[in-house]
Structure 1
């Protein structure tokens, strides 16, 4: 048997209950073996991070379902959280994570792409308000927010302030 993203996704749709959701899924088939990598999202958690308990429960339930498919094919199953510094799905995650810090790859005025940390502000149409992040310190300066077209943001991850 060959495991596909489609048939694994069907099983996950039966197993996952809100607020848990599928963040990403990869299936790599090799001769008589498959590597199934699943990343979960917690829709009600501030950064979307999932607990170890949730990962274990999804892994256990999915393994039970896959074992019912037969023993002729071996698989390795990895279930994890999308993480607190997860990749952002642009532009839809901008609204969800408004107010949090994100490391974004943005187009600068000189035409080059640069990675910087910003606090995500409100999104209006095809524009988002970004406030450049300045680490707190004795000489913290006031930084004004900028308006950035979504088309000038290529990728990003949440950024944890420690």
Structure 2
């Protein structure tokens, strides 16, 4: 038997219950061995982070299901959380994480792409309002938001300020 993303995804659909959801899945098959990497999402957590207990529980339940497929196939299973600095799915995560900081790869006026930190604002149609983040700015000084077309945002991650 070959482990595929499709048949692993079917098992996960039976196992995962809201607010847990699948964020990403990768299956790499080798001779008599598969590496199954699962990243979970917590739909009601502020940053989508999943607890260690949730990862362990999903791992245990999925392993039980996979063991039913037969002992002749060896697999390595990795279940993790997207974490507090998770990758963003653009545009939907821009709405979901409104108000949080994000490191975004944006198109600059000179045509170059650069990574900048912004506080995510409201998305209106095909644009989003972003407030540039400045660690050194005093809390009294308000930095105005800029409107950025979504086509000028290539990728991003949540950003945790310590």
Question: CA shift at 1:140, angstroms?
Answer: 7.0
Question: CA shift at 1:142, angstroms?
Answer: 3.1
TM-score (norm 2): 0.97
Alignment of 1:11-160 (within 5 A): 11-136=11-136, 141-160=141-160
- 3-state SS, counterpart of residue 29 of structure 2: strand
* Coordinate RMSD, CA, aligned: 1.2
Distance 1:116 1:136 in 2: 15
Which residue of 2 is the match for residue 161 of structure 1? Answer: 161
Unpaired runs of 5+ in structure 1? none
Question: CA shift at 1:118, angstroms?
Answer: 0.0
Question: Which consecutive aligned stretches of 4+ in structure 1 deviate over 2 angstroms post-superposition?
Answer: 136-142
How many positions carry a matched residue from both structures?
162
- 3-state SS, counterpart of residue 134 of structure 1: coil
TM-score (norm 1): 0.97
Distance 1:27 1:155 in 2: 23
**What are the Cα deviations for residues 78-133 of structure 1, in whole angstroms up to 9, with x where unaligned?**
00001110000011111000000000000011111010000000000000000000
**What are the Cα deviations for residues 27-66 of structure 1, in whole angstroms up to 9, with x where unaligned?**
0000000000000000000000000000000000000000
